[in-house]
């Protein structure tokens, strides 16, 4: 009798677990499609996100896809003083790459890709950061830069070299003033 009830409990447990597995696997399969335009699909996605977002499961698996890249992207900055004279120029991430283990630069490159996605992100992230780390700066100018990669035949024929920065697109982002001391908040 005890054996029978144990068996029933075991079967129930396995069925319950199976349901959870099916739901979880369905989410893992559906979650990568986040760009639904259909209203019903969008509603379903919003509901799904209550599961995927807390666990960080809403990942679009697209390593090196649909194209490998992106090509080198970064933000160029120029710091200005009160007379609008140039104090310093640089890029984020820095092109200097002297870390013994490249992982540290990879994180900076990834941050560079994020801030280079649009003007809002570039300005919102880098303006306060640059002002904070360069106390003498009064204003900051920003440009988003996207380089192009040379094709194989261009390198073969000597027309271009890897990393030559030919044809890089400089997109002007903003010329903004640093917040006055006391305005900055963490």
Using CA atoms, how far apart are residues 32 and 16, in angstroms rounded to an integer?
26
Please name the residue ranges forming H helices in 134-168: 152-156
Smallest distance, another protein to C-beta of residue 103, A: 5
Note the residues at the interface with another protein (CB under 8 A): 13-14, 17-18, 21, 24-25, 28-29, 32, 49-50, 53-57, 59-69, 71-72, 101-111, 114-115, 120-121, 124-125, 128-129, 132, 149-153, 155-156, 161-163, 185-186
Question: C-beta of 151: minimal distance to another protein in Å?
Answer: 7
Within 8 A by CB and 6+ apart from 130, the residues are: 77, 79, 137, 140, 178
Between 128 and 143, name the residue whose CB sits nearer to another protein: 128
Q: Please check whether residue 78 is in contact with residue 88, taking contact to mean a CB–CB distance below 8 angstroms.
A: yes
Cα separation, 46 vs 111, whole angstroms: 27
91 pairs with which residues across the strands?
76
Instruction: Kindly state the smallest distance separating residue 85's Cβ from another protein, in Å.
Output: 26
Q: Which residues contact 131 (CB under 8 A, 6 or more apart)?
A: 137, 140, 178, 179, 184
Residue 84 or 169: which CB sits closer to another protein? Answer: 169
CB of 2 to another protein, least distance (A): 20
Q: Least distance in Å: CB of 72 to another protein?
A: 5
Helix (H), strand (E) at residue 126: helix 119-133
Report d(CA 114, CA 122) in Å as an integer.
8
Nearer to another protein, 126 or 139 (CB): 126
> Is the Cβ of residue 40 or residue 185 nearer to another protein in the bound state?
185
Q: Which is nearer to another protein, 84 or 159 (CB)?
A: 159
């Amino acid at each position: 009798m005890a054996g029978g009830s144990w068996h029933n409990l075991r079967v129930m447990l396995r069925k319950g677990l199976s349901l959870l597995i099916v739901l979880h696997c369905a989410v893992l399969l559906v979650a990568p499609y986040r760009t639904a335009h259909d209203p019903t699909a969008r509603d379903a996605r919003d509901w799904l996100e209550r599961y995927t977002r807390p666990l960080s499961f809403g990942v679009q698996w697209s390593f090196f896809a649909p194209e490998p890249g992106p090509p080198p992207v970064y933000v160029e900055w120029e710091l200005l003083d009160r007379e609008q004279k140039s104090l310093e120029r640089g890029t984020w991430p820095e092109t200097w790459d002297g870390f013994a283990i490249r992982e540290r630069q990879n994180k900076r490159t990834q941050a560079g890709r994020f801030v280079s996605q649009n003007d809002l992100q570039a300005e919102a992230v880098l303006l306060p950061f640059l002002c904070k780390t360069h106390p003498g700066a009064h204003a900051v100018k920003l440009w988003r830069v996207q380089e192009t990669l040379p094709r194989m035949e261009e390198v073969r024929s000597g027309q271009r070299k890897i990393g030559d920065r030919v044809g890089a697109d400089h997109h002007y982002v903003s010329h903004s003033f640093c917040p006055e001391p006391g305005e900055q908040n963490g």
